[in-house]
Amino acid sequence: MNLKKIMAFAVFILLMFGCTDFFMICSLHPFYLDKDVTLISEIEGNWTAKPKRAKKESEKKEDNSVWNEADTTSLWKIERFISRTSVKTAKGKDSTVYKPMDYYVVKLISTLPDTTQYEFRMVLFRVKKALYADFMPAGNTGLSRSRFAAESYFPVHTLARVIIGSKKTDISWLGAECMKEMIEKKHVRVNYKWVSSAKRLLLTGSPEQLTGMIERYAGEPRFIDWEKQQAMLNLNRKN
Provide the pLDDT for residue 18: 43
Instruction: Report the pLDDT averaged over residues 143-156.
Output: 62
Alpha-carbon dihedral angle through residues 118, 123, 126, 132, given to the nearest 10 degrees: -10
* Domain count of the fold of the chain: 1
Cβ neighbours for 233, distance < 8 A, ≥ 6 positions apart: 49, 50, 51, 52, 67, 71, 72, 170, 171
9: closest CA among 215, 195, 199, 230?
Answer: 195
pLDDT beyond 70 at 49 = yes
pTM confidence score: 0.83
pLDDT in tens, 214-239: 999 999 999 999 999 999 999 999 97
Provide the pLDDT for residue 194: 83
Residue pair 11/200 in contact (Cβ under 8 Å)? The answer is no
Provide the pLDDT for residue 60: 46
Helix (H, G, I), strand (E, B) or coil at 100: strand
pLDDT beyond 50 at 127 = yes
pLDDT in tens, 81-104: 999 888 777 777 778 888 999 999
Q: Give the integer Cα–Cα distance in Å for 215 and 12.
A: 30
Structural domain harbouring 94 = 3-237
